[in-house]
């Protein structure tokens, strides 16, 4: 398969850790597609009907579906550069709500800082064990 892709000039992407047979980006997209409420329950009658459905899905995915990985803005908002304003407005709304009814908030409000880098499977943050903390404290 790899040789065929290379022969066709396609640059393959690498799979998620411990998964040898998938493309992480297409798998993530497929999961969203598969679980959308309007996913078809039966096969399409024609290829044109399938294409029309996919085009509608892609429009929804890019323009209406709020992605958790980019703080619940749409890809379209992100590409237009308006996500920063949206997130700043959300921060203000949350601050007002917390002031109005502080008893509803046991912790800080949600972090609405804009994400500058997006990773499908980010590396886990490294933690310092107690022995390392002790040696750092001595230094």
Q: pLDDT tens for residues 50-80?
A: 999 999 999 999 999 998 889 999 999 999 9
Distance CA 127, CA 135 (A): 14
Distance CA 41, CA 85 (A): 39
What helix, strand, coil percent values describe the chain, rounded to 5? 55, 0, 45
| pTM > 0.85: yes or no | no
DSSP E strands, the chain: none
CA 73 to chain centroid: 10
DSSP state for residue 137 in the 8-state scheme: H
**What is the total residue count of the chain?**
139
Over residues 98-120, mean pLDDT: 88
């Amino acid at each position: 398969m790899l040789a065929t892709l290379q022969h066709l000039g396609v640059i393959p992407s690498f799979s998620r850790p411990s998964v040898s047979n998938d493309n992480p980006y297409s798998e993530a997209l497929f999961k969203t597609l598969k679980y959308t409420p309007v996913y078809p329950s039966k096969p399409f009658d024609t290829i044109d009907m399938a294409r029309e459905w996919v085009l509608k899905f892609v429009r929804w995915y890019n323009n209406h579906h709020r992605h958790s990985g980019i703080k619940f803005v749409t890809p379209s908002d992100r590409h237009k550069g308006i996500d920063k304003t949206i997130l700043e407005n959300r921060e203000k709304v949350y601050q007002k709500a917390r002031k109005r009814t502080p008893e509803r908030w046991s912790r800080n409000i949600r972090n609405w800082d804009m994400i500058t880098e997006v990773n499908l499977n980010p590396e886990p943050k490294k933690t310092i064990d107690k022995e390392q903390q002790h040696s750092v404290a001595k230094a």
